[in-house]
Structure 1
């Protein structure tokens, strides 16, 4: 791209956002770009964005701790010892200084929390893993210097927040909320009490992107993260970025334009880097962040966790198959893909089920999860009513029957739930507490007062390693088998993130996907039995010609009678056809 072409694109982005200010802002943006190029060591990221070997681990910087070691160093030791060549990328959740929300209320966007380690500890992970960082760009902590300056009417920060007076507050009725807490937070200042925008909590003050200084700060921060080793950057809560009184304040055109501007900069400066948008919303809204191939490189598959949870609990694939078939028919821009996950550091979102599963069945799922120890987080609707927003529960315990002790199918259900996303088009992401088969942590909820803490256990490293090495423990049954399946997946070219996918129309209770490698040389038939009983499937109806099948997942010839496959309860198979 020539400098003239780049300037034309940058002026367009800035013009959409700031109108006539664009011309005077362009030289400022050039300064940020030049600063990045000057500080960058070596060449920019030039590589294929992904392939079938890409699998992401999601973890906090202190999820695994060892006595006498900095948490980041301890985490690296655990990953190097146990997961080298199993995961290609590690998403270290916000590791910056913070005041609340386990890191998502950032008080300094440019530093590493000294309780975890330092930038050298972050860089050390790059010996064996690529990295993803969070750009928590919607809000800041009340302890951030910018907010302190706002209170004192000083720069920078004085104009970095969004003040709303009583008269203007009447225009907030349409605002879409992810929480039930008040939208406005009262702040005492020398100028008197003020009310500022706080989408997520009283300690997370939204930033004012109508002020271009804020955007320039975060462009510089984005580039700083890439220089510090981020192959991917996750745009946290980006859907709420831009605010306009009298609107919903979610997915506004200016928000999409900010993502497009980031994408333009990455394509030019760091073409191997990946932008991931975090938008926990209904599916049709979520995929809007692909744009026309000019926004996110990758988006979360937010409908997947609750859909799989519902499907396995009801032993029905009706809604999951319909959704997946519709997904295949959607226009997905070339060079874009999905991040497929089930468990995460947050809860299981319920909004992504809107328009997919009827409300009464969602309510039944909620009650099922309550019986397994789940908390239900609420959000405020525009009509003033609170509605369920997410389930807070360990994904492992979500499959444990509360009245059957021991539950003979518990680990089988959970393992199936974790295997299903591995076959879908996209990149798999695995939360460390799912990998470890971690149960609910009610003590953590009691300690922090946060319901999300139920799924954020911090492990003592020696204890975790001891459990992994003992096959009679739940962790010992889950962790090694999970890692084995991930390793097998990495060797299957048909599981390339962009390889063609065909969702099969099969009897209810069987979820099937046919994947074909990009070169057309390899096919994989991934079948999943969600029933707690044996199911038989006529493979001749799926695959027309006569072949011999090999189950690469279990490294064996499958249980076949003529063309009929016999699947055990809650079993998954990855079948490779060998033509006669």
Structure 2
């Protein structure tokens, strides 16, 4: 099996919360330019809006056009963007119940000028709803996506896909588009050049569908993309789902996430079986954002079968049901049960499609396995994004989980400058940094890519007419070799 791609890769990016890696925007820039000097071309700054510490770690802003003053100002963001490509979240699907707009609706109901912004059950089903309609709606957490609230003195069923403090928006209205473009203008006007469309798949609610990635959602993505492109920004679509959905979406947007890569690499390293990963490499989009871990959990739905419907019996996944069950059990075992405490009914974020765990703990704290996973991530076509906890070989933060009760917080550690400096002294962290510098500097990554599988050995190569770089991974032995020009390379010594 040989796979080839002529789509060049772009430089690595960091993923981090400003408050949890540096303390604020100025502190994050200091970390980027001091401890991580010359490592990353860009940074995804997780939500920095007001407030950054709400019910969903910033994904429920009261004001999406303001930087929380505790983190800094637009001047700080522009300073960061002067040296690094900055990606920010465009939270498309919902707004906080604490926002001025929704509070006005709570007071005045339909008489509020902001009422068209927000969805209730009757917004989508004005003539009533059947049991079949309700059962069909896709939601990433148990139960129906509605919360009973009082709006203008009347009890209403308000559409809340994620939490009861995040109210879904009506994308069909002029008020929505005015609101959304004000955010895009604020971000692109202050140095942001890559917009991550958060939860956009849930925006297009249409009767008779599962209300997920509907034609309305796709049309909105295109409209946002056109508006962003005119302002010099690219768009990344954030969608968890069957792997064929990512392939389809990738044809019409700038970037999609490769959410299948993290579980497939875990399977390959734990079971010594890279065959499912190799099958994915044959079809995966080259315009991918490559991740191992993010601020969310490790996706499982992304490698599983599609959900059967009345017209579709379902399509197989990249892993079968037994392989998925074995993988999830292995993650819980490798993490000494800490991931089990943070996932599903054990935690308040009841994500049905993710396991909450640091990538390092999912690999049982195996330094060599983590480095191999990072090297494979860096060698694939696309833009590699490296989450700060994974980079620093972080363990599940059980103290933070106990304090918040939020499962995802096991992988969202709050780190001081001293914590970061101590982590960087670890060999596995220094080796990862060397690998990322290699990805940034080696000229072969501007060339052509190919991959070849031979039993448990996966070989990844980049070539130009003058340079070449080859990564050979033996998943049965959990070992790798790195060669350039036919000469073996010592990672840390050559590229630190």
TM-score, scaled to structure 2: 0.86
Change (3 A) 1:535 1:217: closer
Distance 1:181 1:516 in 2: 51
Distance 2:490 2:211 in 1: 46
Alignment of 1:38-77 (within 5 A): 52=9, 54-65=11-22, 71-77=24-30
1:83 aligned residue (28, 33, 36): 36
1:502 aligned residue (439, 450, 462): 450
Distance 1:100 1:192 in 2: 25
Change (3 A) 1:416 1:533: closer
Q: How many angstroms does 1:485 deviate by?
A: 1.3
1:311 aligned onto 2:268: yes
Aligned to 1:513: 460
Aligned to 2:279: 322
- Which sections of structure 2, spanning at least 5 residues, go unmatched? 1-6, 305-316
Distance 1:555 1:397 in 2: 23
Q: Which has the larger radius of gyration?
A: 1
Distance 2:230 2:75 in 1: 27
1:554 aligned residue (475, 491, 494): 491
1:114 aligned onto 2:69: yes
Superposed CA deviations along residues 124-163 of structure 1, whole A, max 9, x for unmatched, are: 2124212111001110111011211222235442111111
Distance 2:493 2:121 in 1: 65
1:145 aligned residue (100, 109, 120): 100
Aligned to 2:354: 390
Q: How many angstroms does 1:387 deviate by?
A: 9.0
Change (3 A) 1:216 1:554: same
Q: How many angstroms does 1:556 deviate by?
A: 9.0
Distance 1:200 1:265 in 2: 27
Q: How many angstroms does 1:432 deviate by?
A: 0.7
Alignment of 1:122-521 (within 5 A): 122-151=77-106, 152-153=108-109, 154-165=111-122, 167-168=128-129, 170=131, 171-270=133-232, 273-291=233-251, 295-327=252-284, 337-354=287-304, 355-371=317-333, 372=335, 373-375=338-340, 377-378=343-344, 388-400=352-364, 410-469=366-425, 476-496=426-446, 499-507=447-455, 509-517=456-464, 520-521=465-466
| Native 8 Å contact 1:53 1:491 kept in 2 | no
2:469 aligned residue (524, 544, 564): 524
Distance 1:348 1:467 in 2: 22
Distance 1:365 1:78 in 2: 35
- Which sections of structure 1, spanning at least 5 residues, go unmatched? 1-49, 380-385, 402-409, 470-475, 540-546, 558-572, 574-580
SS at match of 2:34: helix
Aligned to 1:562: none
Q: How many angstroms does 1:526 deviate by?
A: 2.1
- Determine which structure has greater relative contact order: mean sequence separation of CA pairs < 8 Å that are 6+ residues apart, divided by chain length: 2
Alignment size in residue pairs: 460
Aligned to 2:4: none
Q: How many angstroms does 1:417 deviate by?
A: 1.1
Distance 2:168 2:245 in 1: 22
| Native 8 Å contact 1:503 1:512 kept in 2 | yes
Over the aligned positions, Cα root-mean-square deviation in angstroms equals 2.7
Change (3 A) 1:286 1:120: same
Aligned to 1:43: none
Q: How many angstroms does 1:180 deviate by?
A: 1.4
Superposed CA deviations along residues 391-416 of structure 1, whole A, max 9, x for unmatched, are: 10011111117xxxxxxxx1111111
SS at match of 1:100: coil
| Native 8 Å contact 2:280 2:318 kept in 1 | yes
TM-score, scaled to structure 1: 0.74
Q: How many angstroms does 1:553 deviate by?
A: 5.5
Change (3 A) 1:465 1:186: same
Change (3 A) 1:521 1:139: same
